[in-house]
Chain A
Amino acid sequence: MKLITEKRELSSQLFRFIAPIISVLVALFVAGFLLQAAGVNPAQAYFEILQEALGSTYGLSETLVKTTPLIFASLGVSLAFRMQIWNIGAEGQIYMGACGASGVALFSGIESHPVMITAMFLAAFLCGGLWAGVAGILRARWRVNEVIVTLLMNYIAILGVDYLIYGPWKDPKGYNFPLTAQFSDAARLTEYFDTRFHSGFFLALFCALVLYLFMERTVWGYEIKVIGSNPKAARYAGMRTGLAIFAVLFLSGAIAGIAGFGEVAGLQHRLQHGISPGYGYTAIIIAWLAKRSALGVVIVSFLMGVLLVGGDSLQLTWQLPVAFVYAFQGLILFFLLASDFFIHNRLKLVKGDHHA
């Protein structure tokens, strides 16, 4: 008897659906061993994550607060995925979006709330878009690897924001802390229920809906899908792939940039270091787990929000480093890739020496 793998004639729809669920469960299981090895009781830790993130109004509001930027960033990343473009730079685009929105909030002097918020939104959209657009131009014009460019630009964006908050934008009354002055009331999104939960969340849901309609109901969305799945056919059909690459990366970065707007206008009310604790990287996993579906992005973002809020609390009770969440996310991706194999293949027991 021997165990072999064999190709399925038809890819398994069932497996396509359950692969993400299986991979998260297996990752939880394996991460449990890692936690155990690091001296943390995994059952207790998991229980604590759920309780912290979902067990109270406050916890739930914090989870939604973290879900908000994740939805924006993941929508951006998954839009690029649709065209087989890898935007690994959502982190930097969030920073640039935050930077643009803050610039407007601090220096425009606009007093009307709706005008101010709209201007901040547009600035974030533009800054995030242009930041990713650099990689778009390089990729479209010279086929420069966008993975490396978008990623390296994360470091530049974060250092750029550091430059501003340690230098020209530093609050003169801030006791020399590296942060800008507080925004005026006109530049703040509405908060609800006496928590930090703000209207950015609804904007994120709206954005998911718009993106869904864009992909499924417009010619542009159709072109993006065709270029992604068959670039040669797209060129024969007269689609301008170069322009599309730039446009998609711009849009992808612009949407991630809105996450930065949400963080400064809804949450921090100023620009400071660590605006995003890696939302842009988590977004890559969310986009991959959600399998290109906008609804999927919203659901998975929420789950990752739970994980982040829970992770923060583990940091306090068990002195676990926040970055541990990355190990877990890496594991999810590993298992997802492994279980994807079974969408197209199956295991089979055969007798004797069988060569497939």
Chain B
Amino acid sequence: MLEILLDATVRAGTPILFATLGAIINERAGIINLGIEGLMLIGALAGFAGTQASGSLLVGVLAAFAAAMIAGSIHAFITVQLRGNQIVSGLALTMFGIGITALFGRGMVGLTIKGFERVAIPGLSQLPIIGKPFFNQDLLIYFSFLLVFGIAFFFARTRWGLALRTVGENPAAADTCGVPVLLFRFLAVTIGSGIVGIGGAYLSLATTPMWIENMTAGRGWIAVALVIFASWSSYRALAGAYLFGGITAMQLRFQAMGTTMSVHMLQMLPYFFTILVLVISTIRLQKGASQQPEGLGQAYDREDRK
């Protein structure tokens, strides 16, 4: 029972995990990206279409990454180069994503593909309780583990990671040190967006191997909130994503068991908990030292440097 629930938790949490990681990379560079929901949809459609056309799941994932990256570059150009309003640009990206995937997804509705299958890791998957949920999963889930460690390592231990953090904290200082601020921000937004796209692709390639219009159903917004819960750390993003995976899994379990509780009430739970968690983590952030990048939300213009 616990094993099954944990397994469902990991599977429901993974798309949110990718999206949260991508959003963290954006915000670490100082750019708020509210286009996560739209990017996930673009990733979901591109991933499905890529796999459908080529027959290869790898091609699908790459297509998802590339498509979301291209879409993200619009946000990057507007907010980084043109110093446009980050909130409005992100909302525009979400709307654009919802609309464009509805338009180009028309032909994909009803088609099927062979989605990701489970690959057991020898040895580890035999562990009691955690073995099956964590080590008898599909390749994208293993990739998400690697990404969590990779991103944490990148920000904490590499020169470029440190430079990128400075770009988000104090772009003027980074500029003085010779870090190309605009280029770093542009790359962070586009690559982060690409990772968000993979989260979307998980939905259309693994969760339910098909394309459904608006299939993300608010997961992108949950990810935006989780960035604050995770205080911009990829390990905590993992915890946050699985917390929501867990709530979703339990909610589905309740539905399957046929409780007397209304389906609609159960479906509210993830959104409700996201708000709750957001409130708690915001209060917590204000009490301790804030982890929020100092320059978050502010465009950088060399001419304004003091």
Contact = CB atoms under 8 A, between A and B. Distances in A.
Contacts of B95: 281, 285, 326-327, 329-330, 333
B98 A155 contact: no
Contact of A337 (B82, B263, B275): B82
A170 B221 CA distance: 31
Q: Which of B34, B100, B104, B279 has the most CB of A within 10 A?
A: B100
B268 A159 contact: yes
B103 A142 contact: no
Contacts of B102: 321-324, 326-327
Contact of A142 (B83, B96, B217, B286): B286
Nearest to A332: B92
Interface in B116-152: none
Nearest to A334: B92
Interface residues of B, number: 51
Contact of A325 (B99, B105, B283, B303): B99
A166 interface: yes
Contacts of B103: 34, 38, 320-321, 323-324, 327
A88 B105 CA distance: 26
Contact of A145 (B89, B96, B217, B228): B228
A15 interface: no
A324 B99 contact: yes
B159 interface: no
A203 interface: no
Q: Which of A163, A285, A330, A333 has the most CB of B within 10 A?
A: A330
B99 A142 contact: no
Contacts of B214: 323
A341 interface: yes
A337 B89 contact: yes
B98 A152 contact: no
Contact of B82 (A147, A327, A341): A341
B74 interface: yes
Contacts, number: 146
Nearest to A81: B88
A76 to B, nearest CB: 16
Interface in B88-114: 88-89, 91-100, 102-106
A337 B88 CA distance: 8
Nearest to A281: B95
A306 interface: no
B265 interface: yes
Contacts of B104: 37-38
B267 interface: yes
Contacts of A329: 92, 95, 99
A138 B264 CA distance: 25
Contacts of B82: 337-338, 340-341
Contact of A340 (B84, B274, B279, B283): B84
Given A145-B282, A325-B99, A340-B82, 15 more contacts: A38-B104, A88-B91, A145-B225, A159-B268, A160-B264, A162-B264, A322-B102, A323-B99, A323-B213, A326-B96, A329-B92, A334-B89, A337-B82, A337-B88, A340-B84
16 contacts: A148-B224, A152-B221, A152-B274, A155-B271, A163-B264, A166-B263, A167-B264, A323-B98, A323-B102, A324-B103, A326-B96, A326-B99, A329-B99, A330-B93, A333-B89, A340-B82
Interface of A: 7, 34, 37-38, 86, 88, 138, 142-145, 147-149, 151-153, 155-156, 159-160, 162-163, 166-167, 281, 284-285, 288, 319-331, 333-334, 337-338, 340-341
3 smallest A-B Cβ distances: which pairs?
A327-B99, A330-B96, A326-B99
